[in-house]
Every structure is written in C-alpha cells, then in structure tokens.
A and B are shown apart, each in its own frame.
Chain A
Amino acid sequence: MAHQLAIESLTKNFQTAEGPVTAVDNVSFGIGGDDFFTMLGPSGCGKTTTLRMIAGLESITSGRVVFDGRDFTRVSAFQRGIGMVFQSYALFPHMTVFENAAYGLRVRQLGENEIKTRVQRSLDKLGLGGLAQRHPSDLSGGQQQRVSIARALVYEPTMLLLDEPLANLDAKLRVQMREEIRRIQKDLGIMTIYVTHDQEEAMSVSDRIGVFDRGRLRQFGAPSEVYADPRSLFVADFIGKANFLKVGIQAADRNSAKVAVRGYAPFAVARSVTLDSEESVEIPAGSDGLLLVRPEHLEIAAGVEGGLPCRVRRIQVLGSFIRYIVECDAATREVTVDARRAAPGVSEGSNANLGFAAEDALLFARKRP
C-alpha cells in the first residue's frame, strides 16, 4: 500500500533570550508512495526543524503531521516507525557494526535468527558484509555513513529521514553516496525525506523539492519545475545560477507583458510572476521589475552592436561548457553566461554583447500597491 504523508500548517516557535523566534512558519505539503522529497535551503531556514518535527524529536507549536490519515502530532518518536540518518551518523560507539544495525530489531523483539539474517542482508546491501564485528571508531567516514543507513533501514521503516547525511564526506564520495542512497530507496520503494543545503545534490536525487527560506516553504515541486519556473526571487537565485536584468514594464495583461531594458526596443514576455510585498522591495528604484535569464539561455558575441553591451571580466573553460563572467549596465550584478562553445573574438577585457530569446525569460514584477 502506498503511504501518504501530509504536513498541515506546521509551525514551530522557539523561546530565545532575545524573545520568541519562528523557526518554521505555516509549512504545508504532501508526499506519497516512494517519493524522494528533499527539503532545501540555507542554514537556519527551518528545514532541519521541520524534519525533526516529522520524526517526533521536536514538539510542534501548531499544525499537524498526518501519516496515512493518522495524526502523528501526539505520537511519540519511538512509536512512529521511522528510519533516520543523522549528519553525525550517531552510531553507538560502544556497539559493533552488527549490534548497531541490530538495535532497531532488538527493540522490536525479533528472534535471534531473524535478527541475524536481516542484519546480514542489510549490511550486504550496503557493502558492509565483512565489517560486522568492527566498532564504529575503526571505520572510515563513508563506512560509518553506510552503517547508519543500514541501521535505519533494517527494520523496514515506513519512512526514511536523512538530515544532511553527506555533509561530512569528501566531494567524490558525496556524489557516489547520493546515487547509492537513491538506488536503495527506489529498490525498497520507501518514502524518503532528505535535508540538504546543497542545491546540486537536491536537484540530482529528488523527485520533489521544497525550497525553504526563513522558516517558510517558498516553493514545492519537481526539480525541473522549480528550476525553470521559480515563483520568487529567492528561489530563482537559490536554485541554479540566476542573472537579473532591470526592466521597465510598459504594458501588461493577463497573458503577457511588454517590457523594456533601458535604451532598447520593448519586447513581449509571456511568463511573469508578481512578487509579494517583501520581495518587491528588492527591485531597484527606477525599474518596474527584474527579468530572469539563466546562464545557458544567454548568447555572447564580439562587438558592442546587436545586443546588450557588456565587458568581459573572466573566461573559465569548465570542460563541457565555457563560462563568461561579464559586466552589464542593465543587470543587477555580474552576469554569468554559459556557452557550449567559445565565441570568436571574445577575450578577457574585451567588449561584447549579450542576446537571449524572449521565451526563455521570466519576469518578476513589483507588486502594485
């Protein structure tokens, strides 16, 4: 049976010395089946607190956690049947790898033979077969990580929670482990909630992403959707690289808006977002909105004629593509251009011009008072 998890208006207030702080503010979303859901955001955005409330490790100020129609709010952590992997792995240092993995089964009072088979199967699945009698302190970081995953999965929990599980590993191992986690997750068909601040990690493994900012869930959706169609400046900026051009809006109706970069002919943009009052403040004075153009949608050519004039600061050859960092008067900051091949005649320090297709741009318009 496919499980369903619904988070309804979840809120968490902390009392601090400086007064109450809202760590999680009215967060709602729903996932189900074997979804791999990632909560993404900068540190202190409330994603870990949300995870800990789902696990039952943190009390809920208001709102509900509903699992398969059952209200989890008053169910204590040890009755929720959850598997969890911590950033520090939290392995029991006084137990062997085997005993660590067996812990959840012993709690569930399984027979000794059953425990042996299950633990062995689980350890083998994570390539730890030969390490059963070692202590955690004898293992490498990657191995400890695997043990903590094995330990969380061995009793077949209904849901797997991972709190920045890869933060303590080196870059190469991180990429390898995240693929492995997803493979096992799909293998077992277990609903998974994953917390990270690394957007590339989130994009690469998730079915769904929730982007958190200052306690609020800013956007919820598939990685491609969140990247291509961000609903706020924060999400646009946090997911992938973003270039913002200052624009004036000359006319707007329900389907499109006519915008102009200063000194150029107006053109129509089909996709637009009206910002909330908080983000509207971020639009510079003298402009009506910001136009988002992703680096891979910009084209760069030599000479100042034919597009937005710019000056090339830096060219980085990154293998599969070339990255130009340029200065442009129309942009809010340095502009990044990712080109498939080198533009002839463009060198560091030279003048160039930028072009893009109107259908690749997304308009963020200031909220009308």
Chain B
Amino acid sequence: MTGLAPSPRRDWLPWIVGALTLCVLVAFLIYPILKTVLGAFVRQGDEPSFANWTLYNFERFFVAATYKSAVRNSIVVSVLSTVVATLLALPAAYAVARIRMPFRNFILALSVIPLVAPPFIGAYSWIQLLGRSGIVTQYAADWFGITLPPIYGLFGIVLALSLSFFPYVFLIVQGALSAGDPYIEESAQVMGASRWRILRTVTLPLVTPAIAAAAMIVFIKALGNFGVPAILGGEMYVLPTLIYFQVHGFFNLNGASAIALVNVLITLLAIFILARINRRRRFVTVTGVTRKAAQLDSLGARIFANAYVWTLLALSLIPQIMVVWSSFAERWAGTTFPTEYGLGNYRQVFGDLFQPIQNSLVLAGIATVMTVIFGTLLAYTSVRRRFVGRWALDLTVMLPFVLPGVVTGVAFLVTFNDGWLVLTGTGTILVLAYFVRRIAYVFRSVSASISQVDPKMEEASTICGATWARTMRKVTVPLVAPGILAGAVIVFATLISEMSVTILLYSASWKTIAVAIYERLASNEMPAAAAVGSVTIALTLVLVFAASRLIGRSMADMFR
C-alpha cells in the first residue's frame, strides 16, 4: 500500500454509542412506563404479579364522584382550551401571513412570550384581575354593575390555558400560510373563484394538517398541565391535580398510576382521532417559489387585522405584565392596587430565593446537556441508518412528548422509589425526568437539520479515511449545530420553570423555581412569587433571543 492509507482498524464506536443510548432509553423511559402500567393493576402495597392482578384502582373511575368528574373535567378543559386557542389563533395567523401589516417580526417575537413564561404564574395574575376582589371585577361592579363569572373553575382554567397556548397554533399555521406556493391560489382566482371560495376550498384545506398538528400540541399541553388547574381549579379537579392529590395526600402510587394510565389513554385517543382526520390529506411539498404569498392591502382588512392581532397579543400578555408589575409591589393587602412600590421583592430573590433559582439552573443545565448528547445521537441514527425497528425508536423517543408531565412524574416515583435504583428525593431523579421529558425536542430539531445535510458529505469524509467519530465531530455536528442549539435552548428555557413533573419529584433540598413560586402563591405572597417569575421570564427571553441571533433564525421559528 502506498503512503497515506488510514490505519486498518474496526470502527466500534458507533456500536458502543448506539448500545449506550439504547440502555439509557430502556432504563429511564421504557422500564418506568412498564412498571407504571403494571403498578396500575395491583393494590397499594402489593407486589406487581399476575397473582395480585386487580382492576381495583380503576373501580373508582366508575364509583367515586371526584374521579368521574376529574375525567370529565380533563376532557372538557382540554377540548375547550384547544378549540378556543385555535379559534383565537387562526384569524391572527391569517392576518399576519396574508395581510400587509407593520412590525410583523415584532408580533411574532411577542407571541413567543406566553410560551416561555410559566403558565401557572400567569394563572395567578388572572385571579388578581378577575378574582372575587380582582381589579377588573371591582371596576366592572362599581362602574357597570356587572358580575363577572367566577374565575375559579372551568372559565378561568380555559381562559388561562387558551391564552397561554394559542401561540403554538398561531406560529405553526402562520408559517404554513406564508410558505405555500402563491400560484396555487392565483390559479383558483383566474378560474373564477371568489376570495371566500378560495379560502374555503384551497387555503384552508392546504393548512389543515398544520392546524391539526398545532391543535394536537395544545390539546396535549392542556391535558397534561398541572399548574393552571392547581391554582384556578378551586373545587374542580382534573386528572393531573387528582394524581398530585393521590401522591401527596396518600402516597398511593398504584392509584396514581391508574389515573396516569387513564390520562394517557385520553391522549392516545386524541392522537388516533387526529390521525384519522389527517389520513387522507397529503402534506404540501413547498416548491422553490421565491415569490411570497400575495398580501391583502385594502384599508378595511388592514385595520381589522391590526386591531385583532394587537388585542389578542395584549390579552395574552396581560398575565406577564401583571407579574412584572406586582413584582414591584411592597405593600398590597386588602386594596385594589398596591399601596407602596419598591425593590424589596428582588432583594428577597437574591436572599432566600437564590437557592431555588440556582437549583433550577443546575438541574436544567445538566438535563439539557444530556438531551443534547443523546438526542443528537438518536436523531443521527434514526435519519442516517437503515435498520429494522426504526419506527420503534422514533416512537419511543417521541413518547414522552405526548405523555403528560405528571404521568412521567408518577412513572419515576413508582420506579425509583424502591428496587434496584432508589432515587426519590435526589436531584438525579429530577434531571433524569427532565431528560426523558425533553429529549424529543432535541431529537426533532436535530432530525430536521440532519435530513437536510447531504449524506455524501459524510461519505466523502469516510472515503478520506476519517473514523465515524471524526466525521461526526468535524463534518456532521458543525453542519447541524444550529439545529442542536435551537433544540437545546428550547429545552433549557422550558425546563427552568418546569412544573408538572417537578411538583411530584422535588424534595426539600431540591426546590426549583417553579416550586418556590407555587409555595408563595399558595401562601398568598404574590409579589415575592412575581419577582421570581419576572426574573425567570427575563432570563428565558434573553436566552431564546441570544440563541436566535446566534443561529440566525427568528425567535418564533424556534418554536415551530
């Protein structure tokens, strides 16, 4: 052989990496889920085995009024929130995509704020506004003599959830509406179709898959949300709050598992219905048309679009504004407005609230690094390697994406409370739960990036004699770095204030931001909670903004 031949050795690394990734998935995702499913079918305290098999834990869904109403409430809340969020978002998406509007990018960036702000603290703002002694309630009564519906219960939960989650529909559908081939609608126009007919027969059918997918995200988020119904629920229980009640009240993990299972069944049912709706639809292949979609320019349309979009944005940002405002309140007891303003709450943030903030950053940081490493490797394997059972890998990774957070929490409690690995009360259990809950974000983001990289580039590197690790390090990873970073930032930003899984798994030594806020809200210390909330919102926004600048994508793009 001549001069520059590479050393002839077997490249074992991809296999080792693959096996390691598989072990992690099995140990922290598949095993906990299986154990939860099994646990749901035995009584509290019994060993999971066929001998102890029972449907006892499910009986309550047919007997106990709390359980029956929790199932009904969960479905009603999620369906209503999804419908309201979608109906609110669609006109806004159409307006921003198809009507000439100033500050388009600014609108898109603003709409990201409700997604990064923790929804439960926003929920508390609605109490301040619309609660029994809320600001709006009092003015409505004093000036107009109107009695508003009580904020506690269905009205408040649906209001808070739909205003927090509508941006998913808004951003996704807006993207689909601006990306389509403008000639398709023009051809309908030339054939004699009116504007309304085109909207009905062409525009809407073409974005229906996007609407359905976005509505699905809202539904899953709403169904799994713990914070909002915990604060606004009052006497009304939904499945996640019922699970919390079972765990914190009775530490009945088997009962909680059964509720979790019912929760998952509802999610799966919804996904099944979506798949049925989408079955006969084809996704549009976006052509390389450089022309943008035609934008309406009439004065009436523009006035209406601006009024609608800005009103919606203002409504959805009210909770965040309230949070920031009340964080400056020094004295606010028994009055409509605070009587004294100051920075006292922020001094507290750097005093006794510093520990939770530090905890959140550490836990979220470690979990993010893990999701990046394993999410990237899995995405690479899934996109580049052809192997039997690839669908199973994809499904496994995406599973936590559809599992409500409380369910993951229950699964971790059930699994790591005893047995071969005891983790309850540690920071590790939080990190691992965060990891499995968010790995899908990195997986999706990186998969999309990798499938856009020509495999021939990697082949060229291999032909030149580079090992797999070197090719990954020098070619693949640099090319997909924007995708990795985008995924990582979303993971980190959403983990800082993660609530649903934390509330079940935290311990006294590992309180996070979300727990600290929740505790203060529970003891009516809104200004202190608001200060932490404001710091969190600011931190997350700065992070997302910096990352979007670094990657050269808009902030809104990162959430699509």
Contacts of A103 in B (CB 8 A): 188, 191, 193, 201
**B288 to A, closest residue via Cβ:** A88
Give per-residue flags for B188-203: 1 if the beta carbon is below 8 A from chain A beta carbons, else 0. 1111111001000110
- Residue A94 is within 8 A (CB to CB) of chain B in the complex: yes
Contacts of B276 in A (CB 8 A): none
Question: Which listed residue, B186, B197, B281, B282, touches A57 by the CB 8 Å rule?
Answer: B186
Asked if B190 contacts A88 (CB within 8 A), the reply is no
Asked if A88 contacts B289 (CB within 8 A), the reply is yes
Asked if B186 contacts A86 (CB within 8 A), the reply is yes
Min Cβ gap A271→B in Å is 43
- Residue B206 is within 8 A (CB to CB) of chain A in the complex: yes
- Residue B205 is within 8 A (CB to CB) of chain A in the complex: yes
Asked if B192 contacts A108 (CB within 8 A), the reply is yes
- Residue B284 is within 8 A (CB to CB) of chain A in the complex: yes
Question: Which listed residue, B184, B190, B205, touches A78 by the CB 8 Å rule?
Answer: B190
Give per-residue flags for B266-289: 1 if the beta carbon is below 8 A from chain A beta carbons, else 0. 000000000000000110110101
- Residue B52 is within 8 A (CB to CB) of chain A in the complex: no
- Residue B181 is within 8 A (CB to CB) of chain A in the complex: yes
A75-92, CB < 8 A from B:
77-84, 86-88, 90-92
Min Cβ gap B208→A in Å is 8
Number of interface residues of B (CB under 8 A): 23
Cβ-Cβ contact count across A and B, 8 Å cutoff: 75
Min Cβ gap A189→B in Å is 20
Given A90-B183, A92-B202, CB of A137 within 8 Å of CB of B189: no
Asked if A78 contacts B181 (CB within 8 A), the reply is no
Q: CA–CA, A226 to B187, complex, Å?
A: 32
Q: CA–CA, A103 to B202, complex, Å?
A: 10
Min Cβ gap A300→B in Å is 45
Q: CA–CA, A357 to B397, complex, Å?
A: 80
Contacts of A148 in B (CB 8 A): 187
Asked if A107 contacts B186 (CB within 8 A), the reply is no
Contacts of A135 in B (CB 8 A): 282
Contacts of B193 in A (CB 8 A): 78, 103, 107
Asked if B192 contacts A104 (CB within 8 A), the reply is yes
Task: Give the one of A57, A81, A87 with max B CB within 10 A.
Answer: A57
Asked if A107 contacts B191 (CB within 8 A), the reply is yes
Question: Which listed residue, B201, B206, B287, touches A88 by the CB 8 Å rule?
Answer: B287
Q: CA–CA, A90 to B205, complex, Å?
A: 15
Q: CA–CA, A267 to B448, complex, Å?
A: 71
Give per-residue flags for A37-68: 1 if the beta carbon is below 8 A from chain B beta carbons, else 0. 00000000000000000011100000000000
Asked if A90 contacts B186 (CB within 8 A), the reply is yes
Contacts of A231 in B (CB 8 A): none
Q: CA–CA, A78 to B190, complex, Å?
A: 5
Q: CA–CA, A108 to B190, complex, Å?
A: 12
Min Cβ gap A145→B in Å is 13
- Residue A127 is within 8 A (CB to CB) of chain B in the complex: no
Task: Give the one of B192, B285, B287, B289 with max A CB within 10 A.
Answer: B192
- Residue A212 is within 8 A (CB to CB) of chain B in the complex: no
Asked if B187 contacts A78 (CB within 8 A), the reply is no
- Residue A155 is within 8 A (CB to CB) of chain B in the complex: yes
Contacts of B206 in A (CB 8 A): 92-94
Q: CA–CA, A337 to B183, complex, Å?
A: 43
**A163 to B, closest residue via Cβ:** B183
Q: CA–CA, A82 to B188, complex, Å?
A: 11
**A85 to B, closest residue via Cβ:** B187
Q: CA–CA, A262 to B8, complex, Å?
A: 73
Task: Give the one of B186, B285, B289 with max A CB within 10 A.
Answer: B186
Asked if B183 contacts A86 (CB within 8 A), the reply is yes
Q: CA–CA, A107 to B201, complex, Å?
A: 10
Asked if A83 contacts B282 (CB within 8 A), the reply is no
B288-345, CB < 8 A from A:
289
A82-129, CB < 8 A from B:
82-84, 86-88, 90-94, 103-104, 107-108
**B198 to A, closest residue via Cβ:** A78
**A79 to B, closest residue via Cβ:** B192
Q: CA–CA, A107 to B282, complex, Å?
A: 23
Give per-residue flags for B174-186: 1 if the beta carbon is below 8 A from chain A beta carbons, else 0. 0000000101101
- Residue A151 is within 8 A (CB to CB) of chain B in the complex: yes
Q: CA–CA, A78 to B198, complex, Å?
A: 11
Q: CA–CA, A77 to B284, complex, Å?
A: 25
B110-158, CB < 8 A from A:
none
Min Cβ gap A98→B in Å is 15
Asked if B284 contacts A83 (CB within 8 A), the reply is no
Given A78-B192, A78-B193, A104-B192, CB of A93 within 8 Å of CB of B285: yes
Asked if B197 contacts A82 (CB within 8 A), the reply is no
Min Cβ gap B274→A in Å is 17
Task: Give the one of A78, A91, A135 with max B CB within 10 A.
Answer: A78
Asked if B190 contacts A55 (CB within 8 A), the reply is yes
Q: CA–CA, A215 to B233, complex, Å?
A: 66
Asked if A93 contacts B282 (CB within 8 A), the reply is yes
**B209 to A, closest residue via Cβ:** A94
Task: Give the one of A79, A93, A104, A108 with max B CB within 10 A.
Answer: A93
Asked if B284 contacts A104 (CB within 8 A), the reply is no
Contacts of B205 in A (CB 8 A): 94
Q: CA–CA, A79 to B195, complex, Å?
A: 12
Asked if A82 contacts B289 (CB within 8 A), the reply is no
Given A88-B289, A137-B285, CB of A155 within 8 Å of CB of B184: no
Min Cβ gap A5→B in Å is 15
**B287 to A, closest residue via Cβ:** A88
Give per-residue flags for B153-176: 1 if the beta carbon is below 8 A from chain A beta carbons, else 0. 000000000000000000000000
B185-232, CB < 8 A from A:
186-194, 197, 201-202, 205-206
**B204 to A, closest residue via Cβ:** A94
Q: CA–CA, A80 to B206, complex, Å?
A: 25
Q: CA–CA, A92 to B189, complex, Å?
A: 13
Asked if A92 contacts B191 (CB within 8 A), the reply is no
Q: CA–CA, A79 to B287, complex, Å?
A: 28
Give per-residue flags for B486-521: 1 if the beta carbon is below 8 A from chain A beta carbons, else 0. 000000000000000000000000000000000000
Contacts of A84 in B (CB 8 A): 186-187, 190-191
Q: CA–CA, A330 to B150, complex, Å?
A: 95
Min Cβ gap A56→B in Å is 8
Min Cβ gap B160→A in Å is 35
Question: Which listed residue, A88, A90, A155, A161, touches B192 by the CB 8 Å rule?
Answer: A155
Q: CA–CA, A135 to B282, complex, Å?
A: 9
Q: CA–CA, A136 to B137, complex, Å?
A: 56
Contacts of B202 in A (CB 8 A): 92
Asked if A94 contacts B181 (CB within 8 A), the reply is no
**A148 to B, closest residue via Cβ:** B187
Q: CA–CA, A55 to B186, complex, Å?
A: 10
Q: CA–CA, A88 to B186, complex, Å?
A: 12
Min Cβ gap A183→B in Å is 23
**B195 to A, closest residue via Cβ:** A78
Give per-residue flags for A145-161: 1 if the beta carbon is below 8 A from chain B beta carbons, else 0. 00010011001000001
Q: CA–CA, A107 to B281, complex, Å?
A: 22
Task: Give the one of A81, A83, A94 with max B CB within 10 A.
Answer: A94
Q: CA–CA, A84 to B189, complex, Å?
A: 10
Q: CA–CA, A93 to B186, complex, Å?
A: 14
Asked if B192 contacts A107 (CB within 8 A), the reply is yes
19 pairs across A/B with beta carbons < 8 Å?
A55-B190, A56-B190, A57-B189, A57-B190, A77-B190, A83-B191, A84-B191, A90-B181, A90-B183, A90-B187, A92-B202, A93-B284, A94-B281, A94-B284, A103-B188, A103-B191, A137-B285, A151-B191, A161-B190
The 3 closest A-B pairs by CB, nearest first: A90-B183, A104-B191, A90-B187
Additional A-B contacts beyond A84-B187, A88-B181 (12; CB < 8 A): A78-B189, A78-B191, A80-B190, A83-B190, A86-B186, A88-B289, A90-B181, A90-B184, A93-B206, A93-B284, A108-B192, A137-B285
Interface residues of A (CB under 8 A from B): 55-57, 77-84, 86-88, 90-94, 103-104, 107-108, 135, 137, 148, 151-152, 155, 161
